[in-house]
Chains A and B, each alone.
Chain A
C-alpha cells in the first residue's frame, strides 16, 4: 500500500471516465481541463459523492472505493475535506458554527475552541458570529477552507475555489493558500480550468479531456511540452505545425527539421527517426521579435521573416500574428509588450522577423498518434 492518494477510475457511461493519478502527502495536484472534462466528477468521487462503475480510491492505504471488492465508503465516513465551488456553507449557522459542524470527531468541549483556532488560521478572527450572508465572497471561501480542514482530512479537495471571487480577492487568496500549504501535510487536489492558477499553485498538473487523463507532470512541462497535439491544443498552444526530421546532430547539437522550405534547429530529440513526419510547437514566449533599430539576443536562432497580419493591443501586451514567407496559411502567434509593439511600428501589413528559440521547439507525434516512449 502506498502513501498519499491513489485514484483509478473507469466507466463508459453516463459520464465517460478514464482517469488514473496519484497525489503524494503535501503535494498539490491540479486537475485541469475544459468544462465537462469530468474534473469535478473525479473530485466528487474522491469525496464519496459520486460512485462510478469501476475503479478504486485509496488514501494512505485506506480503501474508500474499490469496485472489484464492492467497497464503497459513504461520504460521511471518509476523512475528505471538500471546498465546494459555491462554498456550500450552512446558511443558518454562524461562521464559527459552520466550522464546528465539521468537528464531530472531537470531544464536545473542545470543538468551539478548535473552530476558533481554524478561523484564526484563515484570518477570520473577529467574524465568528457572522452568518454566511453577512460575509464577503472571499470571507465565505475562507470559512469553507476552515471547515474542510476542521475534519483533519486525509485529503483536501478544492473545487474551483477561486472562481466566485473578484480578481483582487483571488490574488490575495492565492497567496494565503500558498502560505497555508506549507503547513499542510495531506495530499491536496485542486480542480481548475485556469492554467495560470495551476502553474502558480500546483506541484503537478493532470490534464483531463472527456474524463480521460491526457498527461500528468509538472505544470510548466505539461504546458510547454505537451505529449500530444490534443494536449497542446487544450493547454492553449497556438503555434502548432508539421515538419520532417532531417538530421540529429551529435550531442550537444540540434535536431534539424524541414519546415516551410527552411531548416529549423530544434532541441535534440532522437526519439523521432530521420525522415519521420512530426508535429512541433513553440510557446509564444519562445518567439523573439527582431528589433528594427538594432539586433537583439537570439536573432541568429531560426529567423523567420513574414508579414504581420494581426496586431491586437490587449492592455499591457499586444497579441500579434505573423504570416510566414513561403507558407501561405502558416501563421505564428506571439505577444509583445505594447510599448515594444509601438516602438517597432508593428501593424498589419508591415514586414517583421521573429526568431524561434531552439529550446522552445518541442516535437510531438504527427496528428493524434501516441507519443514515442523514451
Chain B
C-alpha cells in the first residue's frame, strides 16, 4: 500500500473541490439564471472534458503549461517553480478537467429554484448576497453536494491527464491511481489489489453519501 500516494490523492481531491466550489457556484448560477449570447458555446466548452480523451486533454495541458508556454513562463516568474510535473500543475489540471462534474450538477441545482422564489427573496429585502446564502444555497444544496462528491471521486480516479501533466513523481505527482498502475507493472499484485479495493470502497461510500443526502434533502423540501 502506497500511503504517500493515497495522501497525495486525498489532498489533490480536497483542494480541487475547495477551488471548484466557488467557481462552480458562480458559473452554475450564471448559466442557470441568465440567457446570453454564446451560452450554448460556453455550455459545450464546459462539457468538453467529458468527451475528450484524457490523454489528448493532458497533452494540450502539457503543451499549454510547459516551460516554453506563456502560462508556464508567467507561473515560473511568479512562484519560481515550473507548472508541469508539480503538485500545483496537477491541481490546476484537476480543476479544469473537473469543471463539467462541478458546474453541471450545480447548474441543475440552481435551475430547480423557481424564478418567483428568487424574486420573492429580493422582494423580502434580501440583497443578492443574502438571497444566495439564505435561499439559493440551501435550495441548490443537493446539486452542490453532488458536484463536490463527483469532483472528489473523479479526481481520485483520474489517470491519463495526471500521467501526462504530472508524471509519476513520488510525493509530488504520483496519485493512487498512478500507484496502482505502477504496482501492476512491477507485478506487486497484493499492493495493487489493496489500493484498488480502497478506491472501490471510497467510491461506494461517496456515492452512497450523495444519494442518501440528496434524498433526505428532497424529502425535507417535499
Cβ–Cβ < 8 Å partners of A85 in chain B: 116
The yes or no answer to A241 lying at the interface (CB within 8 A) is: no
Interface contact A90-B121, CB-CB below 8 Å: yes
Which residues of A are in contact with B by a Cβ distance under 8 Å?
47-49, 74-77, 79-82, 84-86, 88-92, 101-102, 104-105, 131, 133-134, 147-148, 150-151
Which of A79, A84, A105, A151 interacts with B119 by CB under 8 Å? Answer: A84
Which of A49, A76, A91, A133 interacts with B125 by CB under 8 Å? Answer: A76
CA–CA, A303 and B154, complex, Å: 86
Shortest distance in angstroms between A90's beta carbon and chain B's nearest beta carbon?
6
The yes or no answer to B114 lying at the interface (CB within 8 A) is: yes
Shortest distance in angstroms between A241's beta carbon and chain B's nearest beta carbon?
44
- Known A-B contacts A91-B117, A92-B221; A80 and B123 likewise in contact (beta carbons under 8 Å): yes
Which of A75, A88, A104 interacts with B116 by CB under 8 Å? Answer: A88
Which of B125, B220, B222 interacts with A102 by CB under 8 Å? Answer: B125
Interface contact B114-A134, CB-CB below 8 Å: no
Interface contact B120-A88, CB-CB below 8 Å: yes
Interface contact A49-B119, CB-CB below 8 Å: yes
CA–CA, A316 and B198, complex, Å: 76
Cβ–Cβ < 8 Å partners of B125 in chain A: 76-77, 79, 102, 104-105, 151
Interface contact A90-B127, CB-CB below 8 Å: no
Cβ–Cβ < 8 Å partners of B130 in chain A: 104
Cβ–Cβ < 8 Å partners of A76 in chain B: 121-128, 131
| A-B contacts, 11 listed (Cβ < 8 Å) | A74-B122, A75-B119, A76-B128, A79-B125, A85-B116, A89-B117, A89-B120, A92-B139, A101-B121, A104-B126, A134-B222
Cβ–Cβ < 8 Å partners of A86 in chain B: 114, 116
Interface contact A49-B122, CB-CB below 8 Å: yes
Cβ–Cβ < 8 Å partners of B139 in chain A: 90-92
CA–CA, A88 and B118, complex, Å: 8
Which of A81, A90, A104 interacts with B135 by CB under 8 Å? Answer: A90
The yes or no answer to B70 lying at the interface (CB within 8 A) is: no
Shortest distance in angstroms between A106's beta carbon and chain B's nearest beta carbon?
11
CA–CA, A147 and B117, complex, Å: 13
Extra pairs beyond A79-B125, A82-B120, A151-B123 (20, CB < 8 Å): A49-B122, A49-B123, A74-B122, A75-B119, A75-B122, A76-B121, A76-B122, A76-B125, A76-B128, A82-B119, A89-B117, A89-B120, A90-B135, A92-B139, A101-B124, A102-B124, A102-B125, A104-B124, A131-B221, A133-B222
The yes or no answer to B40 lying at the interface (CB within 8 A) is: no
Which of B120, B122, B127, B220 interacts with A48 by CB under 8 Å? Answer: B122
Cβ–Cβ < 8 Å partners of B126 in chain A: 76, 101, 104
The yes or no answer to B134 lying at the interface (CB within 8 A) is: yes
Cβ–Cβ < 8 Å partners of A84 in chain B: 116, 119-120
User: Chain A: which residue is nearest B127 at the CB level?
Assistant: A76
- 3 nearest A-B pairs in the assembled complex, by CB-CB distance: A133-B222, A88-B116, A75-B122
CA–CA, A90 and B222, complex, Å: 12
The yes or no answer to B53 lying at the interface (CB within 8 A) is: no
CA–CA, A92 and B116, complex, Å: 15
CA–CA, A84 and B118, complex, Å: 12
CA–CA, A214 and B76, complex, Å: 70
Interface contact A47-B123, CB-CB below 8 Å: yes
Cβ–Cβ < 8 Å partners of A151 in chain B: 123-125
Cβ–Cβ < 8 Å partners of A47 in chain B: 119, 123
The yes or no answer to B170 lying at the interface (CB within 8 A) is: no
The yes or no answer to B212 lying at the interface (CB within 8 A) is: no
Shortest distance in angstroms between B57's beta carbon and chain A's nearest beta carbon?
38
User: Chain B: which residue is nearest A134 at the CB level?
Assistant: B222
Most buried by A among B125, B128, B135: B125
